[in-house]
Structure 1
Amino acid sequence: MTDPRLGLTVTHRRYVPYSHAHYAGDLVDGAYALGLFGDVATEVCIRTDGDEGLFASYSDVQFRGPIRAGDVLETVATVTRVGNRSRTIDFECRVVCRGRPELGTSAAQVLDPPLVAVTATGTVVVPVAAPAASPGAVSEVL
């Protein structure tokens, strides 16, 4: 029987503020995407195991394109392996909107297709005692 947690996908979107630009051309450091991967991995763990879990390691990180201040990023995490306490997750950070300062100070456009900026594979761990949650389950907390 296939584990129902396999293939679970969580997506976050975030605007990159200009305060995060560190380099010429309003470039943002690649670690910004890794922080986003941690955020989306936390939601994956909550949905799969009812616990925030801990990020254990990356087995691969690829910086494929620039992230700039003013971008709108879409970060996607997909569970690809479920162990007793570990989960392997594939990550992709895409630029879905980007500023166009050459057209005007506030001009921007939707990128279709999005620009893949960073990909990674990571491992998270959850406690043995974490109650199993079905994907998409919502329970009331008092």
Structure 2
Amino acid sequence: MNRVDHIGIAVASLEETLPYYTDTLGLTLLAIEEVESEQVKVAFLDGGNVKLELLEPLSEKSAIHQFIDKKGQGIHHVAFGVTSIQDRLNELKVNGVRLINEQPKQGAGGAQVAFLHPKSSHGVLYELCEKQKGETK
């Protein structure tokens, strides 16, 4: 794990939530995009040494929708920046870590991502995130 890349926060509505982060807290909005495969709309904010990723569900099938239904809005995951994501996944699996994704998939900002199961991580959902060269989000 190279660094904490971002903290994912589940929100019911970006439209309602973004002004708190940009106007009240004074954070800079970096980008907004939709990730169809996950049925979410995401907004990246510059938090200085770590980004915040606000996640709004686009459908009831979204894992973020289910998370909000169960737990309400709030911190969803912590993402670690990695290199060679498949190698990291293989190492974790060999070390007995339960994986949600055994193969990386396309995530926001052009990154390859994979999640570790919270039952193997003491109740915390961790994401591994490998940025493509030149990506800053």
Q: TM-score range by the shorter chain?
A: under 0.3
Q: Which structure is larger by alpha-carbon Rg, 1 or 2?
A: 1
**TM-score w.r.t. structure 2 length?**
0.28
**TM-score w.r.t. structure 1 length?**
0.27
Which structure has the highest helix share of the two? Answer: 2
